[in-house]
Amino acid sequence: MIFITAKFRVKPEHADRWPEISKAFTHATRNEPGCLWFEWSRSLDNPNEYVLVEAFRDGDAGAAHVNSQHFKAAQQTLPPYLAATPRVVNTTVDQDDWSELGEMAVK
C-alpha cells in the first residue's frame, strides 16, 4: 500500500473550522475505491496543526487520487486556509492494514 502522513499548519483563525473546511475533500477521498483510510487528527502540541494519515491500495489508487477532480479542487480551495505548505512522508509498505502493536498488547 501507499502510506502517507502529512502535516497541515492551518492559519489560527481557521484552525477550529478545519474539519468543516476540508470535509468535502475528506468525504470524496474516503469514497475512492482505492482508499484504505483517510484520517485527520489535531496535534496535541500545536492546535493550529492537523495530521493526516492516509493509505491507498497501490500506486494506481494513489495516482487516481491525485488525478481526481476533488484533489484538483482541494489544490485550489484549501491553500488559502494554510499558514505553510503541508509537509509529507510518503512510502510504500508491504501490507494492507494496520498491524497490532504487540509491545502494548491488551490482554
At 37 the pLDDT is: 98
Q: How many CA atoms does the CB half-sphere of 37 hold within 13 Å?
A: 11
For residue 89, the tally of other CB atoms under 10 A from its CB is 9
Look at residue 76 and tell me if it is in a domain: yes
Place of cell 492559519: 11
CA distance linking residue 105 with residue 45, whole number of Å: 26
CATH number at residue 22: 3.30.70.100
- Give the count of domains, the chain: 1
What is the predicted pLDDT for the residue at 34? Answer: 97
Q: What is the pLDDT of residue 40?
A: 98
70 assigned to some structural domain: yes
pLDDT at 47: 97
- Give me the average pLDDT of each 10-residue run along the chain (107 residues): 98 98 98 98 98 97 97 98 98 94 94
How high is the pLDDT of residue 30?
Answer: 98
